[in-house]
């Protein structure tokens, strides 16, 4: 378990250091605030209407953000290992989230509360820079997804997702993939048959 914990810590530190340099002191302050947590398949990490209290870093499994409309669900994003995620607007504005976060598979993650993040910004001089760069990174991901959905076909978007996560995409239920791509499960079946 110690070896696994060390690997998980290295995974998270590597991601943080890709955003901005971080001193050992700042890393210690950051890591001391990260708590491991596990969620079972289909368990909600956040329910729409509640305020997001955590920033998560996924180390195994898949989570999705989704919006439940009166007649159907819309999958907004999949979260894969090696990335931070949460309901950002709810987290930073401290207002109820309009969408939910669900574990598609059993997942393991590390999380830090909003109050711990605020405390980290005071305790670690480089933390605000890392936080700003993280927000820039998430904004770029969101913008790329919007461009892909507007400018590329569902098949092209499926191929891209398949290229990014070839093993994990097989674990995502077809109805969620179709919702993410903005097509019906039947259309997704046709795309899969042609690939």
**CA atoms of 185 and 175, how far apart (whole Å):** 6
Residue 107, pLDDT score: 97
Residue 160, pLDDT score: 87
CA distances from 119 to 12, 86, 105, 123, 159 (A): 19, 19, 32, 6, 42
Residue 95, pLDDT score: 98
Residue 2, pLDDT score: 64
Residue 126, pLDDT score: 86
Phi-psi region of 44 (alpha: psi -120 to 50; beta: other; left: phi over 0): beta
Residue 139, pLDDT score: 86
- Give the DSSP H/E element, type plus range, for residue 189: helix 185-194
**Do residues 187 and 154 touch, judged by C-beta distance below 8 A?**
yes
Sign of the dihedral defined by the CA atoms of residues 14, 18, 19, 22, in that order? positive
- Cα separation of the two ends of the chain: 40
Domain positions in the chain: 2-124
Residue 151, pLDDT score: 92
Per-residue pLDDT of the chain (195 residues; tens, 9 = 90+): 566 667 899 999 999 998 888 899 999 999 999 999 999 999 999 999 999 999 999 999 999 999 998 888 999 999 999 989 999 999 999 999 999 999 999 999 999 999 999 999 999 988 888 888 888 888 888 898 889 888 999 899 888 888 888 878 888 999 999 998 888 989 998 988 887
**Cα Rg, the chain, nearest whole Å:** 17
Q: The domain 2-124 belongs to what CATH superfamily?
A: Jelly Rolls (2.60.120.10)
**CA atoms of 30 and 69, how far apart (whole Å):** 37
């Amino acid at each position: 378990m110690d070896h696994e914990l060390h690997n998980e810590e290295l995974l998270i530190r590597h991601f943080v250091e890709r955003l901005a340099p971080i001193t050992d002191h700042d890393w210690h302050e950051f890591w001391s605030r990260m708590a491991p947590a596990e969620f079972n398949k289909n368990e909600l990490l956040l329910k729409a209407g509640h305020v997001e209290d955590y920033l998560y870093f996924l180390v195994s499994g898949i989570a999705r953000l989704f919006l439940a409309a009166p007649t159907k669900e819309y999958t907004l994003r999949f979260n894969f290992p090696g990335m931070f995620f949460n309901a950002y607007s709810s987290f930073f504005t401290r207002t109820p989230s309009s969408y939910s976060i669900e574990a598609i598979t059993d997942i393991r993650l590390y999380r830090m509360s909003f109050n711990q993040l605020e405390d980290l910004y005071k305790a670690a001089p480089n933390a605000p820079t890392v936080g700003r760069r993280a927000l820039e990174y998430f904004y770029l991901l969101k913008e790329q997804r919007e461009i892909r959905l507007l400018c590329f076909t569902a098949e092209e978007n499926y191929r891209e997702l398949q290229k990014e996560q070839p093993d994990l995409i097989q674990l995502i239920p077809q109805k969620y993939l179709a919702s993410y791509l903005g097509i019906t499960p039947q259309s997704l079946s046709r795309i899969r048959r042609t690939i």
